[in-house]
Chain A
Amino acid sequence: MSATLTPVLSATWGDERAWTLDGYRASGGYEALETARAMEPEAVVEMVKGSGLRGRGGAGFPTGMKWGFLPPLEDGKPRYLVVNADESEPGTCKDIPLLMASPHTLIEGVAISSHAIRAQHAFIYLRGEVLHVYRRLLAAAREAREAGLLGDLEITVHAGAGAYICGEETALLDSLEGRRGQPRLRPPFPAVAGLYASPTVINNVESIASVPAIVRHGSDWFADMGTEKSNGVGIFSLSGHVTRPGQYEAELGITLRELLELAGGMRNGRRLKFWTPGGSSTPLFTDEHLDVPLDFESVAAAGSMLGTRALQIFDETVCVVRAVLRWTEFYKHESCGKCTPCREGTYWLAQVLAKLERGEGSASDLDLLLDQCDNILGRSFCALGDGATSPITSSIKYFRQEYLDHLDHGGCPFDPAASTLFAQEATK
């Protein structure tokens, strides 16, 4: 596969008033909804299955198959569609620009998907800390309703209140029911007993936003892009020490080497040190992994996860211990407290890491950290605890010596000023 970019979702982001109904319709918006409404709901589900679309929120579960898990319609039991717009994974920054520039892409996707699963009420759960995106979503839902595009469908755009854990789908449901956002035991899965114990489909913003294009161009069009098992296009978000950070929509399977070339390479020609393929919860990669195809299978085979294609790029000026400690503090802060391995474990991980970063402690603390990770990974109630161990175990695997250097040096041997945006601009 050659390294080209294929804007589908991002194609209209530069258009005049792209966020308005008129702006969206000018590029064919809501035509796919008309097409879908003329189809039987089951045919739309089959179309999405046939496209090979897999969940864009990180897990990569086939979207059409998820829809197929809904039990048969029962009298008096409504079905709900819930869109997970709680984008909070460190490094992940694709849904927010999509929603700011083209909220109607999501609204149209919600309308088509609700038709497909026979839902009459859909919810969009947006993280609360993005005020202007909330304004645009509220306005888009209102415009679509006033224009009569939604039919009987009700769309409620809901703002959260600051909790990473609400990106976990069952915690999101609890939060949407007005409770503390803590994950639920599964089974029952949300498809059977989700929002208000009714059958519920929960999908990521980018997944639902991909549906109009699939309906418009056909499932083969989508399935022909990407790799054999990771079909279609996705938004790759490059951040950190690259010349042109930003959003690059490409077929799944593109490599970081190819993306870096498009992004103008590493900033100031410095060396790539480590990067996350899919957010902070996915094990770190290094410059050994520049040619790993960024699809679900290849990234997993190389020891990490594609996640949300959140490519955080760090150059040689960055201390990996500092980076990992900060992520660990994040998981500690965001642990919901429901289960002991995560609540207590993330607290102790941060303690041990902080000691190492200060140059205190000893080499055996690395084994202690790995042992702690072993007691969290796979033993936590949800994936937050698992994710907390990823940066630690992967950084010890690739950069053990750098941890030990902190002990020899009596603290961090790096100059934090050297890695800042402004330091780099000053040396240009």
Chain B
Amino acid sequence: MSIDEKTYGELREIAARYPQARSGLLPMLHLVQSTEGSVTPAGIDACAEVLGLTPAEVSAVATFYTMYKRHRVGDFHVGVCTNTLCAVMGGDAIHQRLTEHLDVGPDEIADKRQGDQYTVSVERVECNAACDYAPVVMVNWEFLDNQTPDGLVRTVEALRAGHPVASTRGPRICTWKQAERVLAGFEDGLADEGPAAGPASLVGLEIARDQGWTPAGAGVGAKGDSDD
């Protein structure tokens, strides 16, 4: 497969965002994944060409970061957090249930059955900064908070069937390639979807409001004089 002219143009556009073009390499590799489905040799060559690097230099970077895949993942790539806290809260059980259900190993794509619209793959991920929503699962890097083994299997089946699935704190989950395009810095118009915050993010604020606690001297504070 070769990289088309439009993609070359966008790779150059990314490089131009930075005072030194090489700074664009990480988002450029995200863009390669959005068109190629993984970091392919053609994608590495294209990045190298745009930045004046050798393919080996680009490859050395691509292999360092876990989000860059050397082989294809599913349309919906499921990352189950199995770092300590999520693992203890149920992440291990969730990961086991899902991989057995799909009969897949790490980063493998589950067989596409008749009637499936989309493919799925699974990996273990490290802490994704949502520990107050443990156990946490990411699908295409969108949050699915407070998951259970059976609940996630149902969600994954809905994704395979092509039903819309919304992130707990975000929009309807887009495909992995679409997500990778956003990570290359191209907006997709979905920033206003989903809530400002999930319930756990607001627990402290709600207690403070119930109790009438505001920081001393901040009567006109970050919010103190408004209507709540």
Listed in ascending order, the chain A residues whose CB lies under 8 Å from chain B are 4-15, 17-20, 23, 26-28, 78, 87-93, 95-97, 100-102, 121, 127-132, 134-136, 138-139, 142, 156-164, 175-181, 196, 213, 216-217, 221, 224-225, 233, 236-240, 244-250, 262-263, 280, 310, 312, 314, 318, 322-323, 326-327, 330, 333-334, 336, 416-417, 419-423
> Can you report 28 residue pairs joining A to B where beta carbons are below 8 Å apart?
A5-B211, A7-B208, A8-B218, A15-B196, A88-B127, A102-B196, A128-B26, A129-B67, A129-B125, A131-B179, A132-B143, A157-B185, A159-B26, A159-B183, A161-B68, A162-B65, A163-B65, A179-B22, A216-B222, A217-B217, A245-B132, A245-B133, A247-B202, A248-B207, A280-B84, A314-B85, A314-B88, A330-B83
Which 9 A-B residue pairs are closest in the complex by CB-CB distance? A178-B25, A246-B203, A239-B131, A248-B204, A161-B65, A246-B200, A162-B66, A132-B170, A178-B22
With both beta carbons as reference points, the residue of chain B lying nearest to A245 in the complex is identified as B132
User: How many whole Å from A36's CB to the nearest CB in chain B?
Assistant: 16
Find out whether the CB atom of A240 lies under 8 angstroms from the CB atom of B131: yes
- Does B34 belong to the interface (CB within 8 Å)? no
Interfacial chain B residues near A90, Cβ < 8 Å: 83-85, 126-127, 131
Per-residue contact bits, chain B 197-214, to A (CB 8 Å; 1 contact, 0 not): 111111111111001011
Known: A131-B142, A134-B183. Is A247-B66 also a contact (CB below 8 A)?
A: no
| B127 and A89 contacting across the interface, CB-CB below 8 Å | yes
- Measured in the bound complex, the distance between the Cα atoms of B221 and A245 in whole Å is 26
Least distance between B214 CB and chain A CB atoms (Å): 7
Nearest opposing residue in chain B for A182, CB measure: B64
Q: Once the chains are docked, how many angstroms separate the CA of A416 from the CA of B90?
A: 9
Chain A CB within 8 A of B190 CB: yes
Dominant secondary structure of chain B at its interface with chain A? loop
In the bound complex, how far is the Cα of B18 from the Cα of A196, in angstroms? 11
**Complex CA distance for A255 and B141, rounded to whole angstroms:** 34
Q: Are B183 and A163 in contact (CB under 8 A)?
A: no
User: Taking CB as reference atom, which chain B residue is nearest A250?
Assistant: B204
Chain A residue at minimum C-beta to C-beta distance from B127: A90
Closest B residue to A179 by CB, please name it. B61
- Known interface pairs A7-B204, A93-B129, A421-B146; 14 further A-B residue pairs with C-beta atoms within 8 A, sorted by A's residue number: A8-B221, A13-B197, A18-B196, A88-B127, A90-B131, A91-B131, A101-B201, A121-B19, A132-B190, A159-B185, A163-B64, A177-B22, A213-B218, A239-B134
B128 at the interface (CB under 8 A from A): yes
Residue in A132, A196, A239 whose beta carbon sits within 8 Å of that of B19 in the complex:
A196
**What A residues does B64 contact at CB under 8 A?**
163, 180-181, 336
B125 near A421: Cβ-Cβ < 8 Å: no
Is B87 close to A, CB under 8 A?
yes
Chain B interface residues toward A at CB < 8 A: 17-20, 22-27, 29-30, 51, 60-61, 64-68, 79, 82-85, 87-90, 92-93, 125-135, 138, 140-143, 146, 148-149, 167, 169-171, 179, 182-185, 187-188, 190-194, 196-208, 211, 213-218, 220-224, 226
Q: Are A247 and B194 in contact (CB under 8 A)?
A: no
List, in ascending order, chain B residues with CB within 8 A of A27's CB: 222-223, 226
B209 to chain A, nearest CB (A): 8
Minimum Cβ distance to chain B for residue A106 (Å): 14
Judge whether A100 and B196 touch: CB under 8 Å. yes
**A309 CA to B210 CA, complexed, in Å:** 24
Residues of chain A within 8 A (CB-CB) of B214 are 6-7
Query: With a CB–CB cut-off of 8 A, which chain A residues contact B202?
Result: 10, 13-14, 246-247
Give the residues in chain B near A96, CB-CB below 8 Å: 129-130
Q: In the complex, are the beta carbons of A11 and B23 less than 8 A apart?
A: no
Inter-chain contact B83/A4, CB cutoff 8 Å? no
Minimum CB–CB distance from A28 to chain B (whole Å) comes to 7
Contacts of A217 in B (CB 8 A): 217-218, 221
Residue of A nearest to B83 (CB): A90
- B203 and A12 contacting across the interface, CB-CB below 8 Å: no
Partner of B205, one of A11, A89, A225: A11
Measured between alpha carbons, how far is A85 from B22 in the docked complex, in Å? 20
Closest CB-CB distance, A301 to chain B, in whole Å?
26
Nearest-neighbour CB distance to chain B for A4, whole angstroms, equals 5
Which residues on the A side are within 8 Å of B138 (C-beta)?
A: 129
Task: Assess the B141–A196 pair: CB atoms within 8 A.
Answer: no
A162 to B134, CA, bound (A): 20
Q: Which of A97, A262, A423 contacts B197 (CB 8 A)?
A: A97
- Contact status of A136 and B20, CB under 8 A, knowing A131-B141, A421-B89: no
Residues of chain A lying within 8 A (CB to CB) of residue B205: 5, 7, 10-11, 13-14, 247, 249
For the complex, give the distance between the alpha carbons of A89 and B89 in Å.
18
Chain A residue numbers with a CB within 8 Å of B89 are: 240, 419-421
For residue B2, give the distance in angstroms from its CB to the closest CB of chain A.
23
CB-CB under 8 A from A423, the residues of chain B are 90
- The interface residues of chain B lying within 8 Å CB-to-CB of A280 are 84
Does the CB pair B221–A263 fall under 8 Å? no
